[in-house]
Amino acid sequence: MEITEEDFKNAVNSRSKFPIYEKMKNAVIGVAGLGGLGSNIACALARSGAGTIVAVDFDTVELSNINRQMYTIKHLGMKKTQAIKAIISEINPFCNVITYDMFIDEKNCTEIFGGCEIVCEAFDNAKSKAEIVNALLLSSRKVKVISGSGMAGFGRANDITTKTVSERFFICGDMKTDVADGEGLTASRVMICAGHQASKVMEIILKDYDKHKNNDC
Amino acid sequence: MAKINGEEVNANNLLITEFLSENGYSPERVAVMINGEILPKADYAKTRISDNDEIEVVGFVGGG
């Protein structure tokens, strides 16, 4: 079935009084890490019409990822960057997915995400999370950072929240449950955290729209 | 008194490194905001908490 971008736009905007698609189409959003958080964040944003997603990961899809990441059996052995690109092309073929198959750290993150207005930190490792968040917030650009911390284990869904740390820094999670505590990671809690992160992206993008709209009035 | 993570704390003159270690934070796994600005890690050992500072210490845990 042939779907035009106009069809897709109308479907995204259906039942909304705001032109969500048009605003999302102009957004350039970074996703650092394409695991449980990143793969779910990227797909949620693609469904809402994200125009450009800069997706970065060095890893390949393994069987142990399937319990919480967007990948399926057919993606096993593929680079996560290529797999997410393939998945998003089936969700929203009009989303431009720019991929970097590489290890991202505090030294290269500001350059890789240089064109992004918002970056979602979606790493697994606590030290790596802290490094990239610090580096992005220290960069002179006013990039906004939405991080995920504390979504391991099962249950306690309502403990996962979004906290505004500053006007440029938001953190989603329960801030406590560490995968090192041995309860593992489950799709349900990881997707809640990813949902919080993607939701904050949309809130930032559409709040700006609201503001401009009011100014125009 | 400074306000740290939303609570009034008497931590005047304490170095950020001292505050982190006294409260069980690993400097490698935190982001520290002072009065809305991110504090570079290199400054943790030379920044003292002042009266009325508003500080947010975000500790990261693993999983994603």
Q: How far apart are CA A154 and CA A131, in angstroms?
A: 27
Rounded average pLDDT over A149-158 = 93
What number is the ipTM of this complex?
Answer: 0.96
Show residues of chain A in contact with B36, CB under 8 Å. Answer: 166-167
Q: What is the CATH number of domain A17-216?
A: 3.40.50.720
pLDDT tens across A113-138, in order?
A: 999 999 999 999 999 999 999 999 99
Nearest CA-CA partner of A123 in A36, A45, A200, A192: A36
Rounded average pLDDT over A14-40 = 97
Residue A215 has pLDDT above 50, yes or no: no
Rounded average pLDDT over A176-200 = 97
Show residues of chain A in contact with B3, CB under 8 Å. Answer: none
Nearest to B40 among A123, A138, A180 (CB): A138
Instruction: Give the pLDDT of residue A216.
Output: 39
Task: With residue A139 as reference, give the H or E element that holds it.
Answer: none
DSSP A27-67: -EEEEE--SHHHHHHHHHHHHTT-SEEEEE---B--GGGTT
Nearest CA-CA partner of A177 in B56, B25, B60, B29: B60
Domains of chain B as residue ranges with CATH = 2-59 (3.10.20.30)
pLDDT tens across A32-70, in order?
A: 999 999 999 999 999 999 999 999 999 999 999 999 999
Residue A86 has pLDDT above 50, yes or no: yes
Instruction: Give the pLDDT of residue A156.
Output: 87
- Rounded to the nearest angstrom, the gap between the alpha carbon of residue A167 and the centroid of all alpha carbons in its chain is 18
Rounded average pLDDT over A152-167 = 94
- The contacts of residue A70 (CB under 8 Å, 6+ apart) are A39, A40, A42, A43, A84, A87
Instruction: Give the pLDDT of residue A96.
Output: 98
Residue A217 has pLDDT above 70, yes or no: no
Among chain A residues, CA nearest to B28: A127
Average pLDDT, chain A: 94
Rounded average pLDDT over A88-106 = 98
pLDDT tens across B16-28, in order?
A: 999 999 999 999 9
Among chain A residues, CA nearest to B42: A134
When pLDDT is cut at 50, 70 and 90, the band that residue A155 belongs to is confident
Enter the tokens of residue B15: 């170095």
When pLDDT is cut at 50, 70 and 90, the band that residue A94 belongs to is very high
Instruction: Give the pLDDT of residue A209.
Output: 55
Average pLDDT, chain B: 96
Nearest to A137 among B28, B38, B64 (CB): B38
Rounded average pLDDT over B10-36 = 96
Residue A178 has pLDDT above 60, yes or no: yes
